Structure 1
Amino acid sequence: MSTDVAEAVRTETVPNVGRPLDRVDGPAKATGEAKYAADHDYPGLAHAALVHATVARGRVTALDTEAARAVRGVIDVLTHENAPRMRPVKRFSLGSFVKGSSVNYLATDEVHWDGQPIAVVVAETPAAARHAASLVRATYEELPAAVDFAAEEPKAVPQKGNAMFSSAADKGDANAALAVAPVSVDLRFVTPPYNHNAIEPHATTAVWNGNRLTVHDGTQSIAFVRKHLAMRFGVPERDIRVLAPYVGGGFGGKGMVWAGTLLAVLAARATGRAVRLALTRESVYRTVGGRTPTTQRVALGADRDGRLTALVHTSVARSGGMPEQVTSASRHLYAAETVHLRQNVVHLDLVPPTAMRAPGEAVGTFALESAVDELAWRLDMDPIELRMRNEPERDPLTGKAFSHRMLREAYALGTERFGWRERDPRAGAMRDGRWLVGMGVATAYHQPIRFPASVTVRMGADGAVVVRCGLHEIGVGAATVQRQIAADQLGVPLESVRVEVGDSDLPAGPIAAGSGQTASAAASVLAACDKLKRQLLALAGPPLRGRAIGDVQARDGGLFHGGGGRTYAEILAGAGRDHVEAAVKDGWVNFLARSARDGRRWVHGASGAHFCEVRVDADTGEVRVSRWLGVFDVGRVINAKTAAGQLRGGIVMGLGMALSEQTLVDPRTGRVVNASLSEYHVPVHADVPRIDVHCLDDPDPTTPLGLLGVGEVGVTGVPAAVANAVRHATGKRVADLPITLDKLL
């Protein structure tokens, strides 16, 4: 970050950044004006529905489509026997980065999982398409399939690492240190599979005009979808336009290109019609990946004073998709003398797993933070004190400096606000009538990623500013925060700034992933605003011409130095210009160089402290979360309202992981048996207490505007905080999620 930007952060001169402003997309969404992927109409629009395989592994030996074709309104039934071929996925290409699966849909008779699409029905109405799809009959040659995670766990092999994610680490001989530790815990943890349940199920509307393709898609990776479609359909990227101005929730499941998107585009090409394919909730479960199940071992050794002498964390997860960083937090949270980390994987014949809010860290922190709590019980020590005794000054594995870390401050503030000192430390000692009351804490930790982001900023003679970037509005307030940043950098009213997002024709924005979209775009917005001001200085007359950008102030709709200056309108009028525009292009070469440079110096991480109170019915085992406080170090807060909403949303998602959510897979067939929101239990209002969120709001001096990222850190540590509170209330350590009644009775 440049010196002048860093100084602006320190002196807090900005009037819009940090304010709890309403989201600019709020009115459109509240009034129904916002159009999502399945809301776009075209002349002759047809509708598609998927036919799913009903075996986990095998070959389709026959497909009877006669009854389906006889349904009134059916246009075509596409199968591997008659569908146009898509090109296979190219390895080591940017387009392959977002492949949900390598399966070449409708180009093969092979079946790789129960639910894989084996046919697509295209009809005049959604009802006709769905009815006809139900009439397609498939005959299979079944092959042996591996679908039971527990049964396959012994076959796990080491997970392959890559340049971004390592799967193993050692410092000293942790197993030897564990064997001689005066105090130790050695626990096994189990987390189930989880499925994505965004409020907007995946949907695509695809239109071909010759070899030009327009796609409305609920995606959180517009630029990558465009690259992937160009690769699969053999057309230049410039001939593809992907639009996603509004996305009804994206938590990783909409980061990849799944069957629904590809087959909508394929059906549109095959029929010559505009085609909409909106997945049913069940089809989302059967064709879109979710979070992998895991088994984990966490073993901790400590001296009598609670200082960690050994930290062992190993995991088994499913293969497929990006590496699941289960042991990531264990690399950075505790100053253990010795460390042993390993990640292993097994292959199953199920829809490939994918990223899901804080992939790896959400489940990994459950195991690590539960084990730390159990060690505190063995030591008869306050669990916060144990954590503070092992809080590192530098990164435990690499010795690098933390770019920003305020966990001590987070726990200190949370202790006061939550009333932690009023806690009776004895298990089962606190009651309220029939309810056993327990309090638990856990550390939140997530490492944000900064992606490439290109931006243009245009200033008109009327003072109107347009920021253009292919950002994704997945419910986080992406356009709102960039509007705040641009308004401050240019010294113009917030109302005069408009931010255009959600279109591949815009400068390529970052993927909405890794809690990195805001920081990635902010860096380029800052740079573009600086370029714009330099252009305006070059056009201005005295007393501005020739001055450096650091010598002037952008305020009151113009540039000023001391008591003199000119408005933007005056500068442009004097130069005979109706606008100026600045562009910043940021690509993957810059990304790799920047990541390597920063990685040599710093360890970046957002962190926090969760405080949880639960009430457990002594007779029935019912668990209710009654109070919650989260205190977070996420660097600079750009918008207090949207940041708090993101953190609360992560906490609610973590409550679901802790108490109710699990995908049930039939271990005989590989079929998801609870593929609906009536049987897959996400938290509802009655399950969620008042959630107090506080951000320390201290800028990270190494990042754009001092911000880190808030999208994912909120979910990490939440299941552990609940489990630790349940342990305090009942004396029982639940190490396999969710914490259901049977595990407490």
Structure 2
Amino acid sequence: MKENYTGKPANRVDGHAKVTGTAKYAAEFDAPNLVHGVVVNSAIAKGRIKSIDTSEALALEGVLEVFTHENRPGYTWLDKHYQDEDSPPGSPFRPLNSDKILFSMQPIALVVAETFELARYAALLVKVEYEREPHSTDFEANISNAYKPKKYKSTPPPDPRGDAEQAFAAAELQLEEVYSHTAQHHNPIEMHASIAIWQEDGSLIIYDKIQGVQNSQEYISNAFGVPKEKVQVYSPFVGGAFGSGLRPQYQLFLAVLAARELKRPVKVVLTRQQMFSFGHRPTTAQRIAMGASPDGKLQAIQHNAFGETSTFEDYNEDVVIWPGVLYHCDNVQVSHQLVSLDVYTPLDMRAPGGTTGTFALEIAIDEMAYKAGLDPLEFRLKNYTDTDYNEGKPFSSKELKECYRQGAERFGWANRKMAPRSMKKGHQLIGWGMAHGGWEAKQKEAAAKAVLSPEGKLEVSCATADIGTGTYTVMTQIAAETMGLPIEDVSFKLGDSSLPKSPLEGGSWTVSSVGSAVKQVCEKLQEELLKVAQKNGHEIFKDAKPEEISFANGRMFLSEAPAQSVPLLEVLALNEGKPLEAEVSAKPAKEQQKYSSYSHSATFAEVQVDEDLGTVKVTRLVSAIAGGKIINPKTARSQILGGTVWGIGCALEEHTVMDNHLGRFINHDLDKYHLPVNADIPETDVIFVEEKDEIVNPLGAKGLGEIGIVSVAPAIANAVFHATGKRIRRLPITLDMLM
């Protein structure tokens, strides 16, 4: 009988390496004669460098060089080549390109020395004089200058349907409010780091903290004019990224520049403070105007978003697609405009656009439910949709109603009293809130290679990443099950740019994309085994076709005659002692184009709010998820728990404060940038609702990285309203808003 590994909990295959410290992250690799680089950042937000004096730093014994815009070597800087795979429209930032300062903490020099301590000290000795120009970092003050970008990084806002303005004006129930949040930063545990090793033949070996080694490879190849085959990038383990590692960050460029010039391996590791100098979830304000009939049917939705971007790139997200995905409404108009500021370009951050757009929409839906006098869950059911109105397509599968049912039952939603401030325990006001969300289930093209050794050991490889999500493990499970091999005889290799092509590890598409390639390459390997058997006159398989063969327990057999099985080792022995290899590139099936595919969530939250102090504590959470086939329930649950923790942070704690006088984020460390800790996290139930989807990809899996966060913050905000009667429309919700 065949061993089924998918759909069952499995320990991480890389777990032992991680807990014993043998798993190496970018900064932990070494090379002979390795030297260290420390970045010097600008003290102003806009202007130019009048002079930069590096003499004191260079006078120190052991300091090898200080690279600035004045002495940088020439390299290729062409927009059409330089943009990386995750670049938004515009002109990407070029480190050390000129004397111009575009944002606070811009890298303006790299000090390279024999030791890290010496480089760090020498960096303090670099003297810079600036010519300041007035900077503009105040989002609210500049919102009147918002503009529609010529080109969108993500999906362009959907076209209007019906007449939302007229329908809103005619609606008996009306809501018009603004929902906003400030910037948020990723703060993964592993700092961004790169080691660049220059080889005598002009090639480069690079260790980089990145969510896509081939993106770093392409970036360096184009920026420096080096043939791609001479750039090899490794990133076997990533200590968290959440989107901050989608684009190559400036430490990679600086490490490569120094290594090429000095002909020495160079390591550059950014500090926690420097981690705040590139990319963040953008400050966003959203105006929602919603109209409904007295019985609670949505008649109009206008969703207009304003998000910050830099002066050199037009960054935008899918903030306003959600009314068309999540609800039935015949009159919808949406827009997304940008506010250009003197900051670094924002960056994708877990569920970009989804976390932001769903937060506003789901609070507005809760508000409208109260205007209609309906339970928030009943209101959502009344406006349920089986169609993605943005695309005009049915969903490939949608078990959201079952998420509602199971989540509400587990939470005890039926016992909820409708009126705000109606549930209390001593001085604590009790609030129950809920929200739902979606995240697109995409499959992207990905390739994989499989090698089956004469000893029956299978290695499958792809240049994808594992950012802590369990990629190593689920790919091993898929390969072992498909080939009918014991899981201990299967290994998966990733994080090497020379491996088969992979999309970036993000967007919740890795299992769907790379997993499909792994399944297909194993199926191709099975065809190769059949050819070997037939070529060598194996009677059992003489006239068999590939679809008539099955594999289980390390054996090969005709599906209709499992008793006549042959060990794979016996078939492999017929291949003259050589391994069998196969390689495929898996693409989405054309059938997928007829459907819209999304994972869905329903989150139920309980909060306690101190009646006197306004402090908020989340005391209970239930998250019901419809995510197609769950390949590994153990790592899948961890993904949803991680998203839930982050959702609590979004709702109650996380925000980066901009000092507009300085044009700089001032809480740029873990002392002042507040994150949830263990004591903030309540008992959390995760429910995976059974969902079969034969359209979304060959595995039927939808991806879970993003769906765990999108509906958490609005569920908590709605619970706070239920507890206090105060509707908070700005995140994070802090006690001063409730006192």
TM-score bucket (shorter structure)? over 0.9
- CA separation in 2, counterparts of 1:548 and 1:536? 12
Alignment of 1:178-217 (within 5 A): 178-210=168-200, 211-217=202-208
Partner of 2:721: 727
Equivalent pair of 2:84/2:247 in contact (CA under 8 Å): no
- Structure 1 residues 687 and 376 mapped into 2: Cα distance closer, same or farther (>3 Å)? same
**What is the CA-CA distance between 1:321 and the residue it aligns to?**
5.8
- Structure 1 residues 491 and 96 mapped into 2: Cα distance closer, same or farther (>3 Å)? closer
Partner of 2:24: 35
- CA separation in 2, counterparts of 1:441 and 1:125? 53
- CA separation in 2, counterparts of 1:285 and 1:253? 10
Alignment of 1:328-727 (within 5 A): 328-540=321-533, 541-561=538-558, 562=561, 563-585=563-585, 597=590, 600-702=593-695, 703-727=697-721
Q: Does 1:55 align with 2:48?
A: no
- CA separation in 1, counterparts of 2:9 and 2:657? 40
- Structure 1 residues 301 and 598 mapped into 2: Cα distance closer, same or farther (>3 Å)? farther
Aligned residue for 1:317, secondary structure, equals: strand
Partner of 1:294: 284
- Structure 1 residues 294 and 94 mapped into 2: Cα distance closer, same or farther (>3 Å)? closer
Aligned residue for 2:455, secondary structure, equals: coil
Alignment of 1:98-177 (within 5 A): 98=87, 102-162=92-152, 165-177=155-167
Aligned residue for 1:485, secondary structure, equals: helix
- CA separation in 2, counterparts of 1:726 and 1:630? 18
- CA separation in 2, counterparts of 1:443 and 1:430? 23
Partner of 1:7: none
- CA separation in 2, counterparts of 1:712 and 1:146? 32
Aligned residue for 1:526, secondary structure, equals: helix
- CA separation in 2, counterparts of 1:469 and 1:34? 18
Which stretch of the first structure deviates more once superposed, 376-385 or 166-175?
Answer: 166-175
Equivalent pair of 2:599/2:627 in contact (CA under 8 Å): yes
Partner of 2:264: 273
User: 1:302 is matched by which residue type in structure 2?
Assistant: A
User: 2:148 is matched by which residue type in structure 1?
Assistant: P
- Structure 1 residues 178 and 168 mapped into 2: Cα distance closer, same or farther (>3 Å)? same
- CA separation in 1, counterparts of 2:584 and 2:225? 29
- Structure 1 residues 58 and 94 mapped into 2: Cα distance closer, same or farther (>3 Å)? closer
Which of residues 295, 300, 307 in structure 2 aligns to 1:305? 295
Which stretch of the first structure deviates more once superposed, 320-329 or 628-637?
Answer: 320-329
**What is the CA-CA distance between 1:168 and the residue it aligns to?**
4.1
Equivalent pair of 2:304/2:320 in contact (CA under 8 Å): yes
Aligned residue for 1:388, secondary structure, equals: helix
- CA separation in 1, counterparts of 2:221 and 2:571? 44
Superposed CA deviations along residues 304-346 of structure 1, whole A, max 9, x for unmatched, are 1111111111100023364211112222000012111110001
**What is the CA-CA distance between 1:97 and the residue it aligns to?**
4.0
**What is the CA-CA distance between 1:144 and the residue it aligns to?**
2.6
**What is the CA-CA distance between 1:428 and the residue it aligns to?**
0.5
Partner of 2:243: 252
- CA separation in 1, counterparts of 2:389 and 2:491? 44
User: 2:567 is matched by which residue type in structure 1?
Assistant: T
Which stretch of the first structure deviates more once superposed, 703-712 or 158-167?
Answer: 158-167
Equivalent pair of 2:148/2:338 in contact (CA under 8 Å): yes
Equivalent pair of 2:192/2:269 in contact (CA under 8 Å): yes
Aligned residue for 2:392, secondary structure, equals: coil
**What is the CA-CA distance between 1:94 and the residue it aligns to?**
6.8
Alignment of 1:225-236 (within 5 A): 225-236=216-227
**What is the CA-CA distance between 1:72 and the residue it aligns to?**
3.9
User: 1:376 is matched by which residue type in structure 2?
Assistant: A
- Structure 1 residues 92 and 169 mapped into 2: Cα distance closer, same or farther (>3 Å)? farther
Aligned residue for 1:141, secondary structure, equals: strand
Aligned residue for 1:439, secondary structure, equals: strand
**What is the CA-CA distance between 1:71 and the residue it aligns to?**
3.2
Which stretch of the first structure deviates more once superposed, 162-171 or 152-161?
Answer: 162-171
TM-score normalized by the length of structure 2: 0.96
- CA separation in 2, counterparts of 1:727 and 1:545? 71
**What is the CA-CA distance between 1:207 and the residue it aligns to?**
0.6
- CA separation in 2, counterparts of 1:448 and 1:135? 51
Which stretch of the first structure deviates more once superposed, 388-397 or 485-494?
Answer: 388-397
Aligned residue for 1:119, secondary structure, equals: strand
**What is the CA-CA distance between 1:160 and the residue it aligns to?**
3.9
User: 1:244 is matched by which residue type in structure 2?
Assistant: S
Aligned residue for 2:337, secondary structure, equals: strand
Which stretch of the first structure deviates more once superposed, 362-371 or 141-150?
Answer: 141-150
Q: Does 1:17 align with 2:11?
A: no
- CA separation in 2, counterparts of 1:646 and 1:611? 17
**What is the CA-CA distance between 1:57 and the residue it aligns to?**
1.2
Equivalent pair of 2:188/2:242 in contact (CA under 8 Å): yes
Superposed CA deviations along residues 621-666 of structure 1, whole A, max 9, x for unmatched, are 0000000010000000000011110111011111111101101111
Aligned residue for 2:253, secondary structure, equals: helix
**What is the CA-CA distance between 1:93 and the residue it aligns to?**
7.0
Structure 2: tracts of 5 or more residues without a match: none
Superposed CA deviations along residues 443-469 of structure 1, whole A, max 9, x for unmatched, are 021113322211111112221111011
Aligned residue for 2:355, secondary structure, equals: helix
Equivalent pair of 1:370/1:724 in contact (CA under 8 Å): yes
- CA separation in 1, counterparts of 2:3 and 2:690? 14
- CA separation in 2, counterparts of 1:510 and 1:700? 22
**What is the CA-CA distance between 1:546 and the residue it aligns to?**
2.8
- Structure 1 residues 304 and 695 mapped into 2: Cα distance closer, same or farther (>3 Å)? same
Partner of 1:79: 68
User: 2:720 is matched by which residue type in structure 1?
Assistant: V
- CA separation in 1, counterparts of 2:255 and 2:214? 18
User: 1:558 is matched by which residue type in structure 2?
Assistant: R
Partner of 2:733: 739
Which of residues 214, 220, 226 in structure 2 aligns to 1:223? 214
Equivalent pair of 2:154/2:318 in contact (CA under 8 Å): no
**What is the CA-CA distance between 1:737 and the residue it aligns to?**
0.6
Which stretch of the first structure deviates more once superposed, 14-23 or 97-106?
Answer: 97-106
User: RMSD across aligned C-alpha pairs, in angstroms?
Assistant: 1.7
**What is the CA-CA distance between 1:98 and the residue it aligns to?**
4.5
Equivalent pair of 1:537/1:545 in contact (CA under 8 Å): no
Aligned residue for 2:64, secondary structure, equals: strand
User: 1:565 is matched by which residue type in structure 2?
Assistant: S
Partner of 1:323: 316
**What is the CA-CA distance between 1:41 and the residue it aligns to?**
1.3
Aligned residue for 2:304, secondary structure, equals: strand
- Structure 1 residues 439 and 179 mapped into 2: Cα distance closer, same or farther (>3 Å)? same
- CA separation in 1, counterparts of 2:454 and 2:32? 39
User: 1:490 is matched by which residue type in structure 2?
Assistant: M
**What is the CA-CA distance between 1:91 and the residue it aligns to?**
2.0
